[in-house]
Amino acid sequence: MNKPVDMTSVTPATFDVQAARADFPILSRTVYDKPLVYLDNAASAQKPAQVIEAMTNLMESGYANVHRGLHYLSNSATVKFEESRKTAARFINAAHDHEIIFTSGATDAINLVADSFCADIKPGDEIILSVMEHHSNIVPWHFLRERSGAVLKWVAMTDEGDLDLESYRRAFSPRTKIVALTHMSNALGTINPVKDLIAIAHQHGVPVLLDGCQAAVHVPVDVQDLDVDFYAFSGHKIYGPTGIGVLYGKSSLLNAMRPYRGGGEMIEQVSLEAVTYGSLPQKFEAGTPPIIEAIGLGAALEYVMGMDRAAIAAHEADLLVYATDRLRQMNAVRIFAATPHEKGSILSFNLEGAHPHDISTIIDRAGVAIRAGHHCAQPVMDRLNVTATARASFAMYNTRSEVDNFIEALEKARALLR
Amino acid sequence: MPNSDTIERLIDDFEILEDWEDRYRYVIELGKKLPPLDEALKNDQSKVTGCVSQVWLICDRSDGPPLTLSFRGTSDAHIVQGLIAILLRLYNDKTPQEIMSVNAGSLFHRLGLDEHLSPQRSNGLAAMVKRIRQDASRMAETA
């Protein structure tokens, strides 16, 4: 891309952020006549032209239902759909393509595990969760608790915003059935030492589900190296479409599980008396799948894998450090989980004397989009003893000059609220 | 400094405030002038759900005749507090029938603040209007 490079946005890494920006059509728009500064990436990321085109092209010239018709379009759509599965398998280094289950999102993926893997759970059996979880990795387990009498055990968080490892170790008992933890906190950015956490769980013979919604975007994920049992992530946070997510599960576990939903495409034989189920992955994909979205997700994952991910990580780390420093210089900011052992590009903070609602409403007028609220992680808010935080979250296409705009808008908000 | 006690005055004041910054500053000032709500009154009954910020709203009736209603409210967010102040001006000391006939949307549109009244916006203003109208409708039945 021969675009002029904004020198303020040049980072120590070699990542060409201006070239990446050019891939995202929405970034050239304005909001209230100001250039859009989109810092709400942890909620949902914007989409590159490659994803938009893959979905549009499919609808314009390649669309039909998959796995069914013996006609040209159905066959070619099926090939593309299954290519996306292969891409997702490659993205997280799954041993087999059939270990990739397409779901409607990470929420759906976690509900699937809570429902199907834990179908035979007994009253008093235990599930280990952490107070750092997003509600999508809490509420499905509350459902399970309500219907089965299972007990939820909570891993505590340190003041630095790390999982408390002692509390984690203590949480295990002979009745522990599964551990469900976030790989990277959506509210704080903390990246958990998941390989160690999984090893500890496996010493107790307990499988682990990781919520990878944030981590899949920012951290290389190798499910075989992690030896993780289930891994869930959504499409829309990793530059792909909404309505699609992935549940990775080890074949041995998925094969032993009952189907989650019944319907077309997941069966082998249906008669008036009985039904036999299909094999993986169709067993867990009842009904017409989100075909367009799955192919869009494949395009998004190809897009990310086509980039230098280490350079993206360095670029995002630079943005996080730069924004953290600039926020600190304001001298009236509380940063949450400022110093965990490892942190992704999420910055959760509060401005003295201002509610996050005020901040986000005011800086919105400067074209700056951040999130204010509990971030669907109310136990985290309780732990921090606040009702809400403001959260700026960075993606590959953000720049230092956007951080400058963000800080300038914050200064203005502070002046207004004084 | 806002000193507008009436809606008409509020509209006049807003007309001379052209940019969003001045309007927000004005709204924030209105909020600061709102009498504080006793901590004991901030409870689950008075809490309005569905807001990013915390909002409490109390309905007081004065038997008259005619029976009229007044509201007290507060929020932990400055802008929301100011929006509450505007709502109270719109709804206070009115009979339930008058309250039901108030068109808050049209006022917020005239003030250039209508984006805040959208039910999709999670600032709770729409939830507050709904609560006020529910209170009025209930009082009208018991009157």
- CB-based contact (8 Å) between A359 and chain B? no
**Other C-beta atoms lying within 10 Å of the C-beta of residue B82:** 27
Q: Summarize pLDDT for A59-117 with one digit per residue, the tens.
A: 999 999 998 778 999 999 999 999 999 999 999 999 999 999 999 999 999 999 999 99
Q: Pick the residue with more confidence: A12 or A21?
A: A21
Domains present along chain A, CATH in parentheses:
17-31+309-417 (3.90.1150.10), 52-305 (3.40.640.10)
Q: Is B59 annotated as catalytic?
A: no
**Cβ–Cβ contact A365 with B under 8 A:** yes
* CB-based contact, B76 to chain A, within 8 Å: yes
Interface contact flag, B28 A416, Cβ < 8 Å: yes
- 3-class DSSP state for residue A64? coil
pLDDT over 80 (residue A9): no
Residues of chain A contacting residue B79, judged by C-beta atoms under 8 Å apart:
357-358, 361-362
Q: Is A356–B79 a contact, with Cβ atoms under 8 angstroms apart?
A: no
Neighboring chain B residues of A356 at a CB cutoff of 8 Å: 52, 77
* Cβ contact A416–B24 (<8 Å): yes
Q: Which residues contact A328 (CB under 8 A, 6 or more apart)?
A: A335
- Mutation target to probe the A interface, by most A beta carbons within 10 A, among B19, B23, B28, B78 is B78
Angle A2-A7-A12 from CA coordinates, rounded to 5°: 100
| Contact assignment for A355 to B76 by CB distance below 8 Å | yes
Question: Which pLDDT score, from 0 to 100, does residue B26 have?
Answer: 92
Q: How many domains does chain B have?
A: 1
pTM: 0.92
What is the reported pLDDT for A219?
Answer: 96
Pairing mode of beta strands A245-249, A230-234 = antiparallel
Partner A contacted by B23 (CB < 8 A): no
Structure tokens at A216: 């899949």
Q: Is A367 on the interface with B (CB under 8 A)?
A: no
Of the residues B51, B69, B102, B132, which is catalytic?
A: B51
- The three-point CA angle A260-A265-A271 to 5° equals 90
Gap between the Cα atoms of A211 and B140, Å rounded: 51
Mutate to test the interface with A, among B28, B51, B55, B79 (most CBs of A within 10 A): B79
Q: Which pLDDT does position B120 carry in this prediction? A: 55
Would you state the pLDDT for residue B118? 60
Residue A299 above 90 pLDDT?
A: yes
Show Cβ contacts of residue A300 under 8 Å, excluding neighbours closer than 6 positions.
A47, A48, A50, A51, A235, A238, A239, A240, A241
For residue A10, the model assigns a pLDDT of: 45
pLDDT of B62 higher than 70: yes
Q: Which residue of A has its CA nearest to B53?
A: A357
- At residue A381, the pLDDT reads 92
Please tell me the total number of residues recorded for chain B in this structure.
143
Residue B75 CA to residue B54 CA, distance in Å, equals 5
pLDDT band of residue A291 (cuts 50, 70, 90) is very high
B37 token code pair: 């709500």
Mean pLDDT of chain A: 94
User: Can you point out the beta strands (E) in A305-352?
Assistant: 333-336, 346-351
Please enumerate, as own/partner, the contacts of A302-306 that have beta carbons within 8 Å and a separation of 24 or more. A302/A50, A302/A87, A303/A23, A303/A48, A303/A50, A303/A51, A303/A239, A304/A91, A304/A238, A304/A239, A305/A87, A305/A90, A305/A91
Interface test with A, best of B17, B18, B19, B21 (most A CBs within 10 A): B21
Kindly tell me if the per-residue pLDDT of B119 is higher than 70. Answer: no
Contact yes or no for A39/A345 (Cβ under 8 A): no
pLDDT for residue B143: 57
| CB contacts < 8 A (A, B) | 44
One-letter amino acid at B7 equals: I
To the nearest whole angstrom, how far is the Cα of B1 from the nearest Cα of chain A? 14
* Domain housing B51: 4-142
**Annotated active-site residue in A19, A376, A386, A417:** A376
For residue A373, what is the nearest residue in chain B, using CA coordinates? B52
Closest Cα of chain A to B143: distance in Å? Answer: 38
Q: Nearest chain B residue to A416 by CA: give it.
A: B25
Please tell me the least confidently modeled range out of A100-104, A202-206, A310-314, A413-417. Answer: A413-417
- Measure CA of the first residue to CA of the last residue in chain A; give whole Å: 44
Non-local CB neighbours of A271 within 8 Å, separated by 6+ positions: none
Tell whether the model's pLDDT for residue B98 goes beyond 80: yes
Mark yes or no for CB contact B24/A362 under 8 Å: yes
**Whole-number average pLDDT of chain B:** 83
* Confidence label for B2 from pLDDT (cuts 50, 70 and 90): very low
CA A241 centroid distance within chain: 13
- Regarding predicted confidence, which is higher, B24 or A129? A129
Confidence category of residue B111, pLDDT binned at 50, 70, 90: confident
Among residues A365, A271, A388, A378, which one has the least CA distance to residue A34? A365
What is the arrangement of strands in the sheet containing A346-351, beginning at the earlier edge strand? A333-336, A346-351, A389-393, A371-373
> What are the φ and ψ backbone dihedral angles of A99, each rounded to 5 degrees?
-85, -5
Question: Residue A35, Cα to own-chain centre: how many angstroms?
Answer: 26
CATH number at residue B115: 3.90.1010.10
Helices assigned H by DSSP within B51-124: 78-91, 96-101, 104-110
A12-27 exposure pattern, b = at least 16 Cβ within 10 A, e = fewer: ebebbbbebbbbbeeb
Model confidence at B117, pLDDT cuts 50, 70, 90, reads low
Residues of B in contact with A32 (CB under 8 A): 20
Q: Nearest 5 degrees, angle CA A57-CA A59-CA A65?
A: 125
Task: Check: CB of residue A78 under 8 Å from CB of residue A326.
Answer: no
pLDDT at B37: 87
Q: Which helix or strand (DSSP H or E) is residue A103 part of?
A: strand A100-103
Enumerate the residues of chain B whose CB falls inside 8 A of the CB of residue A354. Answer: 78
Asked if B127 has any chain A CB less than 8 Å from its own CB, the reply is no
